[in-house]
Structures are given as C-alpha cells and as structure tokens.
Amino acid sequence: MLFMNGCMELNKEEILDLISKYNTSYAEGECYLFNIVGKNIINRGYFKKEELLDIVRWKSARAIRKAEANSDEAIEKITKFAFEIDSEEVKISVLTSLNGVSIPMASSILTIPLPEKYGVIDIRGWQTLYNFGLVDYKKDVFNVKDWLLYLRTIRALSDKFSVTPREIDKSIFMYDKINRKGNLYKT
C-alpha cells in the first residue's frame, strides 16, 4: 500500500488481488446476471420484469415487493429510455422512478449489462473511497450527486489501473469487507 499526499492508495497488484478475492467469494453467484441477463438486456435494449426482479434479489431482496409493483410496460419503457439517453444524471434519475429502485439499485441496473462503464454504489465501496481520501464525506444513503461523484471516481481509478469500473467496484467492496472494524451500518 502506498501513501500519497497523506492519503492511502492501492497499487495495481493490490487491486488485482482484491478483484480475485471478490471473484472467488461472489462471482459464481453473479455469472447468470452478468453473462446471461446483462447480454440479453444489451441485445434487446431494455429490461423485462423478471430481469429487473433478478437484479433486485441480488442487490437488495428486501425491495422485491416494491419492485414487483412495477408493470411490465413501465419497466420496459423506463429502462429503454434510460439506456438511450447520454446524461448520467438523467439516466440514474429515470431509473429511480421505478418502484423499489433507489440509487444503489439503479446503479446495479446499469452495471449488470454495462460493467465496462458502471459499478454498484454501496456503503462498502463509498467507505473505502472515503478512507483513501477519494471522497471527502461519509455516506450511507445516496443521492444523484453522490452517484455522479462515485461514477467519476471509479472511472478515474478504472483508467488508472486499466480495469473496468465494475472491477474497481469489486476491489473497493472487497477492501472494506476484509478491513472493516465494527458494524457496517450505524446502530
């Protein structure tokens, strides 16, 4: 681990090691989502309801009842529109108009079909970025502004280390999982 300007910084070898540890622990359960569901969504240009529900079960099963309330038509039209627009701010905002879709869930919806462009925002990843001085405030509930900062940050790290934003996401998640002392959420 390197220290620059008073901040910790991971090197490429550590990033790759964390990605490998993540893959060993979690990737098998994600294969279907990334390799089948994600590719079907890209080919079609929108989500079907069952695909959205698969992602909700993966990211946060407690939101499933709310997500089930979305109509097939709403899911198709909203996700199609989100994939067609260029603005990341509008894209994430549109996705959160679906029932049961918060900013972290919307980031998952973008990441499954497009891991080369996105990563999943969550408390573990954010905390790691905070600990490394890459974001300057702690968060456990995210808004659009946070998402845009997270996306810029993981894309910059992705470029720096020649890996995808999803791989950066995996590495910072795993870093927190391995190194966290105490509770994930405030009690």
Sign of CA dihedral 79, 108, 96, 137: negative
> Looking at residue 7, what is its pLDDT?
54
> Looking at residue 52, what is its pLDDT?
97
Residue 148 CA to residue 172 CA, distance in Å, equals: 17
Predicted TM-score (pTM) of this structure: 0.90
> Looking at residue 53, what is its pLDDT?
97
Contact between residue 162 and residue 169 where contact means Cβ atoms under 8 Å apart: no
> Looking at residue 9, what is its pLDDT?
72
| Residue 61 confidence class, pLDDT cut points 50, 70, 90 | confident
> Looking at residue 1, what is its pLDDT?
42
Residue 122 CA to residue 107 CA, distance in Å, equals: 9
Buried b (16+ CB within 10 A) or exposed e, 95-104: bbebebbbbb
Coil vs helix vs strand at 7:
strand
Q: What is the mean pLDDT of residues 59-79?
A: 95
Dump the DSSP string for 108-152.
HHHHTT-TTT-----HHHHHHHHHTTSSSS--SS--HHHHHHHHH
Is the pLDDT assigned to residue 183 strictly greater than 80?
A: no
Summarised one tens digit per residue, pLDDT across range 96-151 is 999 999 999 999 999 999 999 999 999 999 999 999 999 999 998 999 999 999 99
DSSP 9: E
